[in-house]
Amino acid sequence: MNRTTKLFIRDEDKKYLDIIVSSNRPKILNKKDYNNLQELKNKIDSKDWDKNKKFSNDYELIHIPNKRKKSDSIALYEPLSRSYFKMVEIIFDFKLFDKCLNPSFKSGHIAEGPGGFMEATYNLSHNIDRFNSYKHYGITLFSNNKDVPGWTKAANFINSDKDIVISYGVDNTGNIYNSKNIEYFSKLCGFNSCDLVTADGGFDFSLDFNKQEQLSYRLIFCEIICALSIQKKGGNFVCKIFDTFMTSTVKLLFFLGCFYDEVYLNKPLTSRPANSEKYIVAKGFKGIDYNYLLVLFELVDVWNKKPNPNEIYDILCIDMPDYFLKSINEYNKLNSKQQIDTINNTIKIIEDKNKLSFLNTIVEKQIVEAKKWCNKYKEKINIKSNFILEYREHKFK
């Protein structure tokens, strides 16, 4: 499985792009692959899917978020969320600390609840030098809805170190759709001062997987603007995205690439292969003109002035170079095939009525792959894991 693709942008094409608010629906790249994937997603029964999707992920047993079975996970560490291990993987694979982990290291975490990316950044940086007072800043949406990930679960982690600073913005909502909250967070962290910035926001798409890309567009744009305001020159940015079929999304990738030396699309091993989740990893921030940033802040608020914010489909006025579109087309073709194969495999598992021995074979492989992953990424193995000690067929009867 090809997990990482570098997005190449020629130096002469890296420039400040013109801004335009458009209600025209974006074009779809790889239309055939897009339609095939959409049709397949429509066949998914959410109840059956949630029960069986874990069997199509070779790395599922690294962490099992089950309060009643904490001893089942192969990894010993109990993080705030599964995203912790994704960030561990990304930090190692892209050597994100190699050039920026100095005594003044600072990280900023956008849409961060429940805190997995910040926790991974904190732990790995302090594993290298536990005596340094690195600063870690986070902002996330405030909500009393238990389905919206906030800081509640992270209370002990947050209170463990005064260098972990949490913000809900100027209006105490944590909503980065409000440019004033972005500005407030930028001032709190320090303008262009964060060596590492992450954005791990998302929605619950379980009722309609096909709208992930469209509905996440505004969130990703606001996360990028927030990142550009706090990112230090030479720093790195990690941002979760979903599908990349719409030209509006592809323009965001190109836009971001104009501000960094290198931009990658990465699917961590710890990200389930059947879903559309992937991460932008942007390295070597080149800086941004403050006046241009103010224009971007104003654009954040344009959405708030529209009766239906979802009617804004595009904000970047650009004809993307053919070579860039070709690279995205090639990526989409390969990525959609891998995703379709995994979904079909999961559907096969759902439909197989005599699957016990088949599932046991899968789980045996998952145990092996989880242990290999832990060794590679320097995570201690839970030698008391029930899967390691006493794996039995009855677990899946």
Q: How far is it, in rounded angstroms, from Cα 120 to Cα 67?
A: 20
Could you tell me the pLDDT band of residue 397, with boundaries at 50, 70 and 90?
very low
Helix/strand/coil for 292 = helix
Of 302, 377, 386, give the one whose Cα is nearest residue 85: 377
Mean pLDDT score of the chain: 89
Position 209 scores a pLDDT of: 56
Q: How far is it, in rounded angstroms, from Cα 115 to Cα 103?
A: 23
The answer to whether residue 32 scores a pLDDT higher than 50 is yes
Give the model confidence (pLDDT) of 207-218 as tens digits.
555 577 878 899
Torsion over CA: 152, 118, 122, 230 (sign): negative
Give the model confidence (pLDDT) of 56-102 as tens digits.
999 999 999 876 656 789 999 999 999 999 999 999 999 999 988 88
- 240 is a catalytic site residue: yes
Structural contact between residues 80 and 169, judged by C-beta atoms closer than 8 angstroms: no
Specify which residues 75 forms β-bridges with.
Answer: 381
Give the model confidence (pLDDT) of 321-340 as tens digits.
999 999 999 999 999 999 99
Helix/strand/coil for 330 = helix
Position 347 scores a pLDDT of: 87
The answer to whether residue 107 scores a pLDDT higher than 60 is yes
| Domains of the chain and CATH, by start | 4-26+79-338 (3.40.50.12760), 44-78+352-397 (no CATH)
The beta strands (E) that lie in 151-226 are given as: 164-167, 194-199
Q: How far is it, in rounded angstroms, from Cα 383 to Cα 293?
A: 50
Q: How far is it, in rounded angstroms, from Cα 246 to Cα 26?
A: 6
Q: Give the distance between the most distant pair of CA atoms in the chain.
A: 64
Helix/strand/coil for 356 = helix
Specify which residues 279 forms β-bridges with.
Answer: 240, 266
Q: The tokens of 149 are what?
A: 């990930």
Position 391 scores a pLDDT of: 67
Helix/strand/coil for 232 = strand
Helix/strand/coil for 274 = coil
The answer to whether residue 1 scores a pLDDT higher than 90 is no
Of 229, 232, 253, give the one whose Cα is nearest residue 241: 253
Residue with tokens 């927030």: 226
Catalytic residue among 53, 232, 240, 251: 240
The answer to whether residue 138 scores a pLDDT higher than 90 is yes
